[in-house]
Amino acid sequence: MRVYLSCMAVAVILASCTPKPQAVESAPDWAYPMKPAATAPEPVDTALHHVPDSAAAFHKAELKSLASAPDWHPDEHPAMPEVVVHGSGNGAGACAYCHLPNGAGRPENAPLAGLPKAYIIAQVRAFGDASRTSSVHRAPADNMAKVAKAAQPGDDEAAAAYFAALTPRSFVRVVETDTVPKTEPAAWILRLSAGAGTEPIGNRIIEVPDDFARFELRDSRTAYTAYVPAGSIARGRALVAGKAGKVGCVSCHGTDLTGTGDIPGIAGRFPTYIIRQLYDFKSGARADIASAAMKPVADRLSAGDRIDIAAYLATLRPASGA
């Protein structure tokens, strides 16, 4: 018996058999806070500013110059190479302006202290050739691209050697909770909203400087609190160890997650930074050779998995005694 199907029937059958394209996952807004647009000119500030445990003093204009990294605690690190403290010129910023003289970084960028020299060089060059960028947080990534393209011969080597030799430290306190203080975006991070109360944390990590004024002064010892969902640390510990069957970070990043060879450590890093990197691996924003091994790992992770992993990693020490 012959069966004749109409064109419409054939189309319906084929449509049911053809895999439907998966929807692209949206980047989490809370991990990519944008700098709000200026609504009024800033008042002129001619005062000398200070931070705790430092004899240094800077004017606000000095603290806003990308070409000169404010050094509040010069006794906590060796002498900085010229590119680290003043940049390569051509309008590109100094490495330590964003990543700080002690290499501790801030939530909107990467801590560099103790990372392998070869890895740092590879990432600078990836920003330069656009094989590493950001899905959403474009301003910090675009600034890194500008820095990479302005680099003079030997600059990346000098900067990488300096940061690789530093001892990494974490300034983040992780708190599991069901409710968090309300926050607002400010200068690529979140800050506490004055007198705004609390709200459910939901499926988020809320990371804020404990003292926003100190953060704005670019104090390299600024402390942070990362609020994470209840139970996320234990779930993240299982994921990182490979017990959940999706990922086993220890196989590449080492049993203590402080790195092996040219593979960077991931212990004690800012949790929102980890979230953005896992999302950028998945979205393809990070597509350099060093990132190739992370793409299939990131593809297997749900949004909740990423939160759990980042929460757990932030509780770890980045190096022995740090």
Judge if 197 and 285 occupy the same domain: yes
The reply to whether 30 falls in a domain is no
Helices (H), the chain: 7-17, 60-63, 82-86, 95-99, 117-128, 138-150, 155-164, 212-216, 232-241, 250-253, 271-283, 294-299, 303-314
Query: Domain boundary residue among 140, 164, 188?
Result: 164
The reply to whether 63 falls in a domain is yes
Judge if 145 and 72 occupy the same domain: yes
Residue 227, both tokens: 């609020």
Stretch 270-296: mean pLDDT = 93
pLDDT of residue 37: 73
What are the tens digits of pLDDT across the range 214-232? 999 999 999 999 999 999 9
For residue 303, give its domain range. Answer: 169-314
What are the tens digits of pLDDT across the range 146-198? 999 999 999 999 999 999 999 999 999 999 999 999 999 998 899 999 888 99
Query: Domain boundary residue among 164, 180, 203?
Result: 164
Judge if 127 and 207 occupy the same domain: no
pLDDT, averaged across the chain: 89
Residue 314, both tokens: 């932030």
Residue 42 banded pLDDT, cuts 50, 70, 90: confident
Q: For the CA atoms of the chain, what is the radius of gyration?
A: 22
Q: How many angstroms separate the CA atoms of 290 and 92, rounded?
A: 25
Judge if 176 and 104 occupy the same domain: no
Angle (CA) 172-145-282 rounded to 5° is 60
Residue 154, both tokens: 């030997």
The reply to whether 255 falls in a domain is yes
Residue 141 banded pLDDT, cuts 50, 70, 90: confident
Exposed (0-12), middle (13-18) or buried (19+): which is 318, by Cβ within 10 Å? Answer: buried
Strands of 81-211, DSSP E: 172-177, 179-181, 183-186, 189-192, 198-200, 206-209
CATH number at residue 81: 1.10.760.10
The reply to whether 50 falls in a domain is no
Residue 240 banded pLDDT, cuts 50, 70, 90: very high
Total count of domains within the chain: 2
The reply to whether 38 falls in a domain is no
Judge if 88 and 191 occupy the same domain: no
Judge if 197 and 291 occupy the same domain: yes
Judge if 292 and 155 occupy the same domain: no
The reply to whether 320 falls in a domain is no
Residue 40, both tokens: 């009024």
Judge if 297 and 186 occupy the same domain: yes
User: Cβ distance 272 to 207 under 8 Å?
Assistant: yes
Judge if 215 and 298 occupy the same domain: yes
Judge if 156 and 129 occupy the same domain: yes
pLDDT of residue 182: 97
The reply to whether 176 falls in a domain is yes
Q: Is the pLDDT assigned to residue 7 strictly greater than 70? A: no
The reply to whether 23 falls in a domain is no
pLDDT of residue 272: 97
pLDDT of residue 321: 47
Judge if 184 and 157 occupy the same domain: no
Query: Domain boundary residue among 114, 148, 164?
Result: 164
What are the tens digits of pLDDT across the range 13-32? 334 444 444 455 788 999 99
Q: What is the dihedral of CA 197, 174, 24, 251, to 10 degrees?
A: -170
Judge if 185 and 159 occupy the same domain: no
Q: Is the pLDDT assigned to residue 11 strictly greater than 90? A: no
pLDDT of residue 139: 79
pLDDT of residue 1: 40
